[in-house]
Structure 1
Amino acid sequence: MRLWKQVAATTLAWGLAAASALAQALPGPVVNTAWLAANLDKVQVLDLRGSAKSFTTDPEFDEVKGKKVVDEVGGHIAGSRLMEFKTIRVEREINGNKVKYMVPERAVFEKMVQDAGIDGDKPIVIVPVGLSLSDVNDGMRLYWQFKLYGEDKVAMLDGGMAAWLQEGRPYVKDALVAKVGNWKSAADRTAQLFADSTDVAAIVEKKSAQLIDGRELPQFHGLMKRDYVYAYGHIDTAKPLSPDTTYKKDGSAIKLLSANTYRGVLQAQGIDPAAPSVVYCNSGAQSSLPWFILSEVLGNQSAKQFDGSLHQWTLEKRPLVGAVSLN
């Protein structure tokens, strides 16, 4: 009888542990507003914005063709923690060059996350502003940094705060209360997810992977460039993935496409969704959505991001090709 009770107790403990793990499970790398609303008590909401000011102000709405849309995001989901996008990337010295907009070193990022009040016991849902593609890329960039440092219980809110507000879901304007969390980096996946300029140069020489340029076509073709990129054109052998083919608009909210649609979009632009790939852009933000599409939506585990992107590449005076004459 004692043995039976012991087995029963053990079975019950296993069952409770499994139920607890299941309760903490995310449905995937992307969640929608309905799922988040139903599971707010099971996750940590991490709001990512360009400025903290709107965290405590009312949103502004407009009406387009009889539908309420968000003109300016304001307020936040109750219980949200906050990070400002400008704080999550840093300047690092690489081979004698000061390279901007890089992922922080592991210990630095860990402290950033802790200072934002994030703990290690619940999944994290990143909520970008969601009004522009750059908002989405900002969120994807933070997601990539979490994955780089070993966090698997993380997801993106499709449509961001714009979708939440557009649907009339509740928001609050409480001031953020300072809190230090206990989140820890579980691993360093630099070898798996991060590419540097030496890796990219080897790919150009050996054609060992496909390079994907996530910038707008005028930049790819060298008709224009950002001021922190010091040459025109693109890296040799790179294929462009036009940003305007990577999302849809629902009212004012930027949302993702289906996996099947993404597969077709990539193939239509000459990109193999399953091939080893390195994505880049100007500074490593705009390429975060292409990386997310390949790695997280389509399951390509050989997708990496060239973090320094063309800022680092041209700082090192490495060549670009394909610039169209402006004369």
Structure 2
Amino acid sequence: MELTVGPNQFFWPAESWSAFYGALAEAPVDRVVLGELVCSKRLPFYQDRIPEALSLLAEAGKEAVLTSLALVTLKRERKLTADLAAMGVTIEINDLTALAHMPNGMGFHVGPLVNVYNEGTLAWLASLGATRVCLPPELPLASVETLTRAGSEMGVAIEVWGHGRLPLAISGRCYHARLHKRTKDNCQFACEDDPDGLEVRTLEDQPFMAMNGVQTLSHSYACADYQIEALAEAGVSALRLSPQSQGFIRLCQAYRDRVNGALPPGGIAANVQETSPQTRLSDGFLTGPSGVSWSADPAPS
């Protein structure tokens, strides 16, 4: 299986953004999706650095892909989306409104925020030019197997979410702005203070989810460590790793070693716990009773 790095979901300083993609050029990954997924207000801070990052990744032999926004609501966002096709690289669609701006005959990828739940949707997207689809992370393994078989017949590569906080929802309201008693238009980029999302806990002080501007994320980090053999057997083309601010290149290496058989099941989880013991892992959407379940947890008595 290949490794795809998904678009950065968070707001990082421009220097950190550039350093991250510079390091990815040397990382053991096959494909990198970059650009702004969550909030168009973040884009001007690093937009002029994207061409350099694209060139650097291409020179390093990586397939570089640009993402569309997950929620297009403004006229300037429609223009940004329309302009993507002129960049000369493959586009990943994360909002179906972007399809209107894809020239006829231009192939594209489909990201995990598009609800591809069945063969009919997959066939429709393939008929429009989709060549690769990253499935929504909430699909169980049985559905992954079905869609992978269908994708193989249609010539569409299927990716599965491999690691990272799961994207659960995108809203028209900005949670970070509201928390700081600001309006969305005057958010003052409060989300920059939380480079991996802001933890949300219940009234009982239990971990619940994370917020990232207008985005809701899982609190736990999905981790396909114990499912890699099953996903490979199902014919999954690639695992998607979602960027995080700390230890990401090491994480990419752990996944590469695991996929290549140089690391046993549980090796990635051990690596994560060693570098970040407070991180909660989960893989329940694939095989567990609930999304937050984790294969390494003891079975209930």
TM-score after normalising by structure 2 = 0.28
Q: Highest CA radius of gyration, 1 or 2?
A: 1
